Structure 1
Amino acid sequence: MAQAAQKLSTLEARLASLSQPAGGWPDGARADALSRLHAMGLPERRDEYWKYTRPDTLTQPAAVPAALFDNDEGPIFGHMDRIQIVFVDGVFDADASSDLVAEGLSIDRLAEARTDIHWARDLYGTLEAKGQSPVARPLAALNTAFAPDGVLIHVTGQVSKPVSLQYHHRSETSDAMLHHVIRVDAGASVTVLENGPAAARFNKVMEVDVADGAEFHHVRAQGRDHERRAATHMFARLGAESVFKSFTLTANGVMTRNECVIELTGDDAVAHVAGACVGDGDFHHDDTVFVTHDAVGCESRQVFKKVLRNGATGVFQGKILVKKDAQKTDGYQISQSLLLDDDSQFLAKPELEIYADDVACSHGSTSGAIDEDALFYLRSRGVPEATATDLLTLAFLAEAVEEIENEALRDEINDRLAAWLERHRG
Structure 2
Amino acid sequence: MSNLEDLDKLDHRSPVVEQSPVVELVETTGHSSGADWLARYSSSLMGVFGTPQRVLVRGAGCLVWDADGKEYLDLLGGIAVNALGHAHPFVTSVIASQLATLGHVSNFFTSPTQIALAEKLLALSKAPAGSKVFFTNSGTEANEAAFKLARRNSGSPAGEAGGKPRTRIIALEGAFHGRTMGALALTAKEAYRAPFEPMPGGVEHIPFGDIDALRNAVDDTVAAVFLEPIQGEAGVRPLPAGYLQAARELTSQAGALLILDEVQTGIGRTGKWLASEDAGIVPDAVTLAKGLGGGFPIGALVTFGEKTSSLLTAGQHGTTFGGNPVATAAALATLHAVENQHVLDNVRAVGEHIRAALAAVDGVTEVRGEGLLIGFDLDADVAPAAVAAALDAGFIINSPGPRTIRLAPPLILTEDQADRFLAALPAILQTAKDAQ
TM-score (normalizing by structure 2): 0.28
**Bigger relative contact order, structure 1 or 2 (CA pairs below 8 A, ≥6 apart):** 2
Which protein is bigger by CA-based radius of gyration? 2
Higher relative helix content: 2
TM-score (normalizing by structure 1): 0.29
